[in-house]
Amino acid sequence: TSFLFFSIPLFQEATPEIIARTAPDVRDVLIALAGGLALIIALSRRTEMTNTIAGIAIATALMPPLCTAGYGLATWNLEYFFGAMFLFIINAIFIAIATFSLVKFLRFPIVKYINETKRKRVSQFAAIIATVIIGFSMYQFYLLFKGNQYKLNAEKFVTSLQEKTNAGIINSVVNYEKRKIKIVVLGTNLNNTQKTIWSNKLEEYGLPKSTLEIQQDDKSSFLEDEINMIKDSYIKNQNLVATKDEIIQQKESLILEKEAQLQLLLKQQIPFVKISQEAKIIYEHLDRLSFANKLETNFIKIDTVSVFEATWKVNDTIKQQQLKEWLAIRLDKSKIELINHFPSKQTLIENP
């Protein structure tokens, strides 16, 4: 029935349930033993309802591998067919062995005696068959374990490759039978040096005698190189703009500093023409007025002292003192020296 059903082209896709029953191992032996024990315990009870349990146990253990075998024949996939038939044999034999063992343990009465020679021959044949099946199923389990271990190591390898090279890996295929790892790269490609390095690292990740196949698009790599060139050019231009801005800021700072120095110089300058005109109006006996800046130091700091020389027509000490005080207030300076000259003698008035 399974063969006829799967002969229809619409139903020839291998589902996970079908694939799961094509590679039995020692775990299926343990399941069959458990199923056989459950079967004989159910049949040994007095209640008729347990017969249903026995039927379900047989159906779940024996029907799926037979259906899978029919699928293998219909699609001419002999690997699926032999794998499913091997699972069917495991279930059939070990259900029977578990049932027989429990029957002997419960000491069911013997209905018909057979001769000792025939009994031994049957027992030896059953033991040989069971040993062969257990050995082969354990070998299948070993292959499954090695295959899973290989796939785990391959996943670690691909993950490490992607993290350390930043390659744009979008897919990876691991083939344990051919010892082959294929990765598909899109975007950031791997160069020849990186390919060689990571091919040599396969053994370090527990993948000996394996080959690494890398599928990538050279056009996307070329496009990525152009994008990187554009990025580099943009970064250089930004650096130039930043440098120019820095130079402009430095020059603006220098201009502000010079302006401050100029304002200070202008502030320190004395409007001598205006001062002399005002002094002539205020002091009628003032005949001549001179001005100069004098530098003096106490060897700690240097000060600038404004020195005025006044020539008077009349020697008036009060007017001389008033002129000195007026100059200090008018120029807003504390350091003022006034040297007075008269027609007959000189008098020096120093700053108190």
Q: pLDDT tens digits for 248-285?
A: 888 888 888 888 777 766 666 677 788 888 888 888 88
Query: pTM for the full model?
Result: 0.45
Tokens at 152, concatenated: 């785990």
pLDDT on residue 269:
67
Q: Do the first three CATH levels of 149-219 and 272-349 match, i.e. the same topology?
A: yes
pLDDT on residue 350:
46
pLDDT on residue 52:
67
Q: What does the alpha-carbon distance between residue 278 and residue 270 come to, in Å, rounded to a whole number?
A: 13
pLDDT less than 70: residues of the chain: 46-54, 56-57, 112-114, 116, 187, 217-226, 264-269, 343-352
Q: Which strands, in side-by-side order, build the sheet including 169-175?
A: 169-175, 180-185, 211-216
pLDDT on residue 266:
62
Residues 6 or more apart in contact with residue 324 via CB below 8 angstroms: 308, 336, 338, 349, 351
Tokens at 219, concatenated: 């056009």
List the chain domain ranges.
2-109, 149-219, 228-265, 272-349
Q: What does the alpha-carbon distance between residue 216 and residue 167 come to, in Å, rounded to a whole number?
A: 10
Provide φ and ψ at 347, rounded to 5°: -130, 130
Q: What does the alpha-carbon distance between residue 141 and residue 14 come to, in Å, rounded to a whole number?
A: 22
Four-way CATH pick for 149-219: 3.30.565.10, 3.30.70.20, 3.30.300.20, 3.40.50.1820: 3.30.300.20
Neighbours of 292 (CB within 10 A): 12
Angle at 82 between CA 76 and CA 85, to 5 degrees: 120
pLDDT on residue 114:
66
pLDDT on residue 120:
76
Say which CATH architecture domain 272-349 belongs to.
Answer: 2-Layer Sandwich (3.30)
Provide φ and ψ at 7, rounded to 5°: -70, -20
